[in-house]
Amino acid sequence: MTPSHSKIKPIVQGHRGARARFPENTLSAFNYAIINQIPVIELDIHTTKDKKLIIHHDPFFIKNNKKFYIYSSTLKQIQSTIVEPNPLFPRQNKTIKEPPPSLEGFFNWLHHHPHPFASQMILNIEVKSIPALEGKLYPTPAWISKTLYALLEKYNLIHRCWIQSFDHRVLKHIRKQNSDLKISLLLSQNYLNASLLLKDLHAQAVSVPVSWVDKALCRSIHKVKGQVFAWTANTKKEWVYLTECQVDGIITDDPVRCKNFLKNL
Contacts of 37 (CB under 8 A, 6+ apart): 117
Give residue 241's Cα distance to chain centre: 22
Alpha-helical regions (H) of the chain: 27-35, 75-78, 103-111, 141-154, 168-177, 194-200, 215-223, 236-245, 255-263
Residues in the chain, total = 265
**Rounded distance between C-alpha atoms, residue 24 and residue 244, angstroms:** 29
Three-class secondary structure assignment of 55-70: ECCCCEEEECCEEEEH
Question: How many domains would you assign to the chain?
Answer: 1
pLDDT value at residue 4? 47
Q: How far is Cα 129 from Cα 132, in angstroms, rounded to an integer? A: 9
Q: What is the pLDDT of residue 200?
A: 87
What is the pLDDT, as a whole number, of residue 1? Answer: 34
β pairing state of 205-209 and 227-231: parallel
Residues of the chain under the 70 pLDDT cut: 1-7, 190-192
- Write the single-letter amino acid at 67: K
Sign of CA dihedral 166, 124, 127, 60: positive
Beta carbons of 185 and 198 less than 8 angstroms apart: yes
Q: For position 192, what pLDDT does the model report? A: 66
pLDDT at 7: 60
Name the residue range of residue 177's domain: 3-263
Pairing between β-strand 122-127 and β-strand 161-165 as defined by DSSP bridges: parallel
- Least Cα distance to 184 among 201, 196, 173, 192 occurs for 201
Average pLDDT, the chain: 95
C-alpha to C-alpha distance for 77 and 72, rounded to whole angstroms: 10
Q: Are 144 and 182 a contacting pair, CB within 8 Å?
A: no
* Res 195: pLDDT: 86
Instruction: Check which CATH number belongs to the domain holding 158 and give it.
Output: 3.20.20.190
CB 13 within 8 A of CB 255: yes
pLDDT tens for each residue of 173-217:
999 999 999 999 999 776 668 888 898 889 999 999 999 999 999
